[in-house]
Structure 1
Amino acid sequence: MTDKIDVKNIPVDVQLHKPDLKQPNRYPSRDRIYVRAVKGLHQVLRRYMGFFFMGLFMLLPWLRYHGEQAILLNIAEQKFTIFALTLWPQDFTILAWLFIIAAYALFFVTTFYGRVWCGYLCPQSVWTFIFMWFEEKIQGSRNQRMKLDQQAWSVTKFSKKFLTHLCWVTFALLTSLVFVGYFTPIDQLVLNFFTLQAGFWATLAVLFFTFCTYGNAGWMREIMCTHMCPYARFQSAMFDKDTFTVSYDATRGENRGPRSRKDKDYKEKGLGDCIDCNLCVHVCPTGIDIRNGLQYECINCGACIDACDDTMDKVGYPKGLISYTTENRLLGKKTHIFRPKLVGYFAVLVVVCLAFAYTLHQRQPLEFDILRDRGALFRDTSEGWVENTYILRIINKSQHERSYRVEVTGLDDVRWIGPQEVTIAGGETISQPVSLAADPWELAEPITDVTFTVTVLEQPEIQISQTNRFFSRR
């Protein structure tokens, strides 16, 4: 064979493109998003849901139950009160079930209807919309705010900006006081804070959450959703072609372009229903163009739907160019509501809800532990009997004073040394030392199992038993 294969020499030198350190503004600043106000069904729903849950958040710590704060999560005392229910660190299982329920509820809703949690109930979104409401009422509409920012500083501009930020800080401080009030008595907190008598940690917590709320809802806004929220990153794992998301019908809308309202022959010109007004972009709180397809920045708030439906009404076209729909529906296929993944999430959600209800129902309003005397396993009394010492630790997990009686079984002839009945205030704990004495000649083994039983005198059906050991020299 005389044919030769041509060999091409490829250079292996790598050129590194280093940034020019002398160049100013190497990293361009973030473009500010001026969100335009919009009216519509989805915005009314979002507004009223936000008002309802915000009002609930503000009201709950002020409610009283039997003369005490109805909801108080006292971390210092490790005591969590929710109306008639008092939880302790030993009840961590209940809290774990609540987190599991919340997780699977989020998975189920996301698989079915996309990121509606982000658009309607997420605290970041709710606080951001409230801050934008202050901004709009003080500085004006979207165009007025843009014009105001382009103007040179003046008394008018300074006063509007100052009033806006004052309202932001005031509202952030108010909500921070309420939030910290869930963890410390709120009436004392508010009084002591404004009289400068609050403790160091309480004051630090209020100021810290004020700063975070002001920064997140006033300045960062969509950055929290697009760069910091982990949910925005893994949400796509729960989406499928039957998930309802805010989507643009490109088949109907393209080719987009402006036209006259009287133009009835736009389709013959190759135009779709989208008139390219860009209102869907102006009303988006994250500044995306929904016409570019599904994007992780979309929080499914429906603002673009309301803006587009209003435009379609004005030009006389059918609504629904942007709507909550599925990928299959946009492709002309059938949407499957009951599919294995969604049914699986719902089934697991039902199971964990039942497990939570069972755990809550089986919870006893008292805790009982037994600690042995570490000094000696046993000692001989002057009468020749064998005595064991124990420390009974009883926790009254209810909110009311209760009386308890402790009895022991497992020994035929035993003497109880110490009180057998005790009274404990609500939420309190006692450690009561007691001793058991027995005749060694009546004991068949050197170690005998004994059972202590605590009974609530006011509710005899509530009992807790613990088994321990009785040691002798035999």
Structure 2
Amino acid sequence: MSSNPKDTKPVVHIPVKNVNIHPAKGGKAEQYQPRDQIYVRKVEGFFQRLRQKMNFFFMAMFALLPWIQFNGHQAILFDIGEQRFNIFGLTLWPQDLTLFAWLLMFSAFLLFFITTFLGRVWCGYLCPQTVWTFIYIWFEEKIEGTANQRKKLDQQAMSKNKFFKKALKHFCWLIVALLTSLTFAGYFTPVDELFIDFFTFNASITVVLVVIFFTFCTYGNAGWMREIMCLHMCPYARFQSAMFDKDTLTVTYDFNRGENRGARGRKQDPKALGLGDCIDCNLCVQVCPTGIDIRNGLQYECINCGSCVDACDGVMDRMKYPRGLIRYTTEHDLEGKKVHLVRPKLIGYALILVVFASLMSYGIASRVPVALDIIRDRTELARENFDGEIENVYTLKILNKSQSDNTYKLSIKGIDNARWIGKQEIFIKAASVYTLPISIAIDPYDLDEYMTDITFVIELVNSDDDVYVEHASRFFNKR
């Protein structure tokens, strides 16, 4: 340990709230204390306007994407029953699972990269839990009033006015949850049929149960659980600290500038009173959707939404103090050290992102829009037909992975004088599978060995696209 006093850091005294657990009736201590309800106060400011615009943009995308048509079909449709995913001009099948793997790994490391650079901004600006929670809070403000009015309303005895406001609020919540659930289900089933069938009571029981389930999930998460999801159920809150470093931008209270806290008049000099810039108004706590006090230091509950930044900046403006007492900053910046925007961890994440993006792009570019699967007749590997030829039976499964109807030509190579018994030119509809039973026959005098390697070939007919797929198999002779 260094003996130089300059190397020691000042001790930060964090106030701790004492929690008294009163004995319950019967003399036993109460085992569970329910959480205090958080009445989020409305705040205006740059970061809230930014968050609202981002939320509106992505909400509009979420609501409109299922309705977009492309080449006569739903542009984005994850049809689990048919085991195919349509993404505009691209149709993905279970055979394309590696593309999903690259996409998931790319998304994970993109989240790591953003978190290392900007902290937990995903939670504050883009996470569906946060977005829907703020939507529900907006309904609360419009129907029940400000945070103080909502708190007083909850403390009142039940009356006609209170019942009406509560009923209207929950009705609006349920309508938003139902529309959210129907839109979400529209990504997995044709959305136009879904809405018509659901509201005309013609939807299947499976669809109805799925819609009802996600309706109450949305209603419960955004209306009732809210910060519980962020604090106790979301794993991201737990492992995010592993990605933080001293150059990560986080919402931070400038302790050296703000302390000591205390109330004062606008015209009073805080230095003469021995005070810092924090007037201890507690607005930063009142506007926080998770109910924390950012002045207690970095906490895993913080979702980096910037509400406390806007609230504090408004107070600083009224007090005619400089903005930024609470701000997006780094630990190095608060310590007066140089901030390193480009650092090894970020470079590592960026390189991994480039690798995964390249692999995913290569997979899409090299993807052939037709697949051929060959199933041999297992009951009899080879048989002799009436013409004295050796005959092998195969079942060909041809998958048209494109979004257009195509005609394909089939052939065989690797064996001379082979005779194809069955169709060699077939028409397959878009995104469908064609099953074709065929036989290959050959004169036994043309066979030198018991087993001969052969190759089935499928080509696209009458098209400018260069589609050529080979699939290896074997031809067996009779012993």
TM-score (norm 1): 0.94
2:277 corresponds to 1:282: no
Give the AA of the match of 2:274. Answer: G
2:194 corresponds to 1:189: yes
Deviation at 1:217, TM superposition (A): 0.2
2:312 corresponds to 1:308: yes
Cα distance in 2 for partners of 1:31, 1:25 equals: 16
2:360 corresponds to 1:380: no
2:415 corresponds to 1:404: no
2:294 corresponds to 1:328: no
Deviation at 1:169, TM superposition (A): 0.5
1:200 corresponding residue in structure 2 = 205
Alignment partner of 1:363: what SS?
coil
Alignment partner of 1:391: what SS?
strand
Give the AA of the match of 2:87. Answer: I
Give the AA of the match of 1:291. Answer: R
Cα distance in 2 for partners of 1:460, 1:46 equals: 45
Gaps of 5+ in 1: 1-17
1:174 corresponding residue in structure 2 = 179
Aligned partners of 2:246 and 2:330 also within 8 Å: yes
Alignment partner of 2:289: what SS?
coil
Deviation at 1:23, TM superposition (A): 3.8
2:420 corresponds to 1:416: yes
Cα distance in 2 for partners of 1:27, 1:131 equals: 27
2:369 is aligned, of 327, 351, 365, to 365
Change (3 A) 1:313 1:356: same
2:459 is aligned, of 455, 458, 464, to 455
1:13 corresponding residue in structure 2 = none
Count of residues in Structure 1 that have an aligned counterpart in Structure 2: 456
After superposition, what is the alpha-carbon deviation per residue over 1:69-108, rounded to whole angstroms, capped at 9, x for unaligned?
A: 2211111111211111111111111111111111000000
Q: CA RMSD in A?
A: 1.4
Cα distance in 1 for partners of 2:27, 2:218 equals: 36
After superposition, what is the alpha-carbon deviation per residue over 1:419-467, rounded to whole angstroms, capped at 9, x for unaligned?
A: 1110001111111111111121122211111111100112462111011
Change (3 A) 1:319 1:446: same
Alignment partner of 1:435: what SS?
strand
Give the AA of the match of 1:331. Answer: E
Give the AA of the match of 1:275. Answer: I
1:75 corresponding residue in structure 2 = 80
Cα distance in 2 for partners of 1:426, 1:145 equals: 56
1:39 corresponding residue in structure 2 = 44
2:103 corresponds to 1:98: yes
Give the AA of the match of 2:238. Answer: R
Cα distance in 2 for partners of 1:63, 1:383 equals: 58
Alignment partner of 1:450: what SS?
strand
2:220 corresponding residue in structure 1 = 215
Which is worse superposed, 143-152 or 204-213? 143-152
Cα distance in 1 for partners of 2:440, 2:151 equals: 83
Aligned partners of 2:24 and 2:30 also within 8 Å: no
2:18 corresponding residue in structure 1 = none
2:260 corresponds to 1:243: no
After superposition, what is the alpha-carbon deviation per residue over 1:166-196, rounded to whole angstroms, capped at 9, x for unaligned?
A: 1001110011111111111111111111121
Moved beyond 3 Å, runs of 4+: 18-26
2:118 corresponding residue in structure 1 = 113
Change (3 A) 1:318 1:303: same
Deviation at 1:66, TM superposition (A): 2.4
Alignment partner of 1:111: what SS?
helix
Cα distance in 1 for partners of 2:105, 2:465 equals: 34
2:138 corresponding residue in structure 1 = 133
Give the AA of the match of 1:210. Answer: T
Which is worse superposed, 464-473 or 125-134? 464-473
Gaps of 5+ in 2: 1-22
Cα distance in 2 for partners of 1:206, 1:459 equals: 44
Cα distance in 2 for partners of 1:155, 1:86 equals: 55
2:69 corresponds to 1:59: no
Give the AA of the match of 1:37. Answer: K
